[in-house]
Amino acid sequence: MIVNKNEIRLVIKHGEVKKIYSEGYHFVFPVAPIFVFNKLTEFIPPIDFLNLKDNKELVDLLQEVEVKDGQLCLCFREGLLFDVLKPKKHYFWKSPANFTFTFCDLANPMIINQTELDLLSNPMLKENYSVTYVGYNQAGALFYDNKFIKILSAGTYYFWKGFVNVTTRLIEISGQLLEVSGQELMTKDKITLRVNFTAMFNVIDPQKALTEVSDYKTSLYTMLQLALREYIGLNTLENIMEKRIEISKEILGTIQESAEKIGLTVNNAGIKDIILPGDIKEIINQVLIAEKKAQANVIMRREETASTRSLLNTAKLIEDNEVLMKLKELEYIEKIVEKIAQINLNGGKNIIEELKDLFIKK
C-alpha cells in the first residue's frame, strides 16, 4: 500500500484505531477498513472521537480546537484564511500544515479589529457578518437583543452574525419639518376653525429621541396638536385673527420643555392657514366691506374739508393782494385759451369782471 505525501491512513476495527500508516510503502493484510485523511485539512473522524482518543499515537498527531457557544473561530493555514469554524470541537493535524486560529466574541459582535475587517472581503465570510450604514446628517441607535448599546455616528459598521440580534435605528439629526394639518378646533366663542400648523425641529439627543418614546415624530405631533387645541379653545376668533403671529410663540413656550425631554428642540413654528366656515367667512367679508366703506367716507370728507379750506385761504389772499389777483387772472386766461380759439373782450371793466359777464347769465 502506498501512502502519499501529506496523507495518513487509519485502520479502524470495532470502533478502535488498530494501525496508523504515514507516508511511504506498507505491506498490509486487508483485515479491516482503511480510512484515508488529508493532513492539510481538518480531521473529521468517521466514528465518535471518544473511542479514538484511546489511541495515544493518534492523539499526539492532532491538536484540538474547541469553539464555544458565542464564538466564531477563523482558521488560518500558512497565514491565509482557510475555514470558518462554528461552535464544537475540531481536530487538525499538527504537521505539515501550520494551522493558527483567531477567536471572535459573538456576544460583542461589532467588528473593530483591523485584521478582522481586512478579511471581510473573503467570500468565506460573506454569510457570517452584516453591514450597517449610517449616513451623513444621521445618527444610529445600536441595539443588541433589543437592548440599547450606544449611538453610532456617520459611517459603515460591521457585525458578526449568529449569536446576538443586532438592530440599528436611524435618525435624521439635521433640521426637520413637521406639519399638523387639518385640525378642526373650536374657539372660545364656539366657532369651529380648521388650522394648518407647521414646526421646524432638530434632534439634539439621538439617544433620548430613540429610546424615551417609540416614535419621536408622533410624540412631537401630539404635543403640538394639544398645545394648539388649548390655545384656540381659550381665545375668541377676533383675538386669534389679531394675534395670529403671536400664536407660534405661545405654542413654542408650551411644548419646548416636553420636547427637550425626548431629545428634540423646536426652532420655529407658525400657522400656515386658518380656514373659516362659509357663513362666518361671509359675515367677516361684510364687516370688512363696511369698515372699508366707512374709512373711504372719512377720507373723502377729510379731502373735501381740506379742499374747501384751501379755496377759502386762496380767496382771502386774492382779496388782499392785487398782484396775486392779476396772477390768478392770467391762470384763468391760460386755462380758457387751451379750450377756446378766440375771445373778444369790450368795455372798461377788468378781466375778471368781463369773464363774469361772459360766463354767468344774469
Of the candidates 96, 99, 105, 63, which has an alpha carbon nearest to the alpha carbon of residue 80? 99
pLDDT of residue 310: 75
C-alpha count within 13 angstroms, C-beta hemisphere, residue 176: 17
Contact 180, 196 (CB under 8 A): yes
Measured CA to CA in angstroms, residue 224 lies from 40, 196, 238, 281 at distances of 69, 11, 22, 26
| CA of residue 127 relative to chain centroid, distance | 31
pTM for the full model?
Answer: 0.64
pLDDT of residue 132: 93
pLDDT of residue 359: 54
Q: Characterise 346 by phi-psi region: left (phi > 0), alpha (psi -120 to 50), beta (else).
A: beta
Beta strands in 216-354 (DSSP E): 264-275
pLDDT of residue 162: 83
Of the candidates 211, 254, 215, which has an alpha carbon nearest to the alpha carbon of residue 231? 254
Q: Rounded CA gap, 218 and 262, in Å?
A: 12
Find the radius of gyration of the CA atoms of the chain. Answer: 49
pLDDT of residue 344: 63
Q: What is the pLDDT along the chain (362 residues), one digit of tens a residue?
A: 787 888 888 888 877 788 888 888 888 776 778 888 888 998 888 877 767 777 888 888 888 899 998 899 999 998 899 999 989 889 998 878 889 999 998 889 999 888 888 888 889 888 899 999 998 888 989 999 988 899 998 999 999 988 899 999 888 888 888 888 877 777 787 777 788 888 889 998 988 888 888 889 999 999 988 888 888 888 787 777 777 777 888 888 888 888 889 999 888 888 877 777 655 556 555 656 666 667 767 777 777 777 777 777 777 776 676 666 666 666 766 676 666 666 565 655 566 666 656 555 55
pLDDT of residue 291: 67
pLDDT of residue 143: 93
Could you say which of 3.40.50.1220, 3.30.479.30, 3.30.2080.10, 3.40.630.30 is the CATH number of the domain covering 176-276? 3.30.479.30
pLDDT of residue 142: 92
Contact 178, 221 (CB under 8 A): yes
Amino acid 322 reads E
Task: Name residues whose C-beta falls within 8 Å of residue 254's C-beta, 6 or more positions apart in sequence.
Answer: 227, 230, 231
Instruction: Say how many C-beta atoms besides its own lie within 10 A of residue 195's C-beta.
Output: 21
pLDDT of residue 197: 84
Query: By three-state DSSP, how is residue 104 classified?
Result: strand
Task: Name residues whose C-beta falls within 8 Å of residue 82's C-beta, 6 or more positions apart in sequence.
Answer: 75, 76, 99
Q: Rounded CA gap, 165 and 169, in Å?
A: 13
- Per the DSSP assignment, residues forming a β-bridge with 303 are none
Give me the residue spans of the domains in the chain.
2-104, 124-172, 176-276, 287-359
Give the three cell numbers for residue 265.
428642540
pLDDT of residue 330: 67
Contact 157, 134 (CB under 8 A): yes
pLDDT of residue 15: 75
Give the three cell numbers for residue 326.
392779476
Contact 171, 138 (CB under 8 A): yes
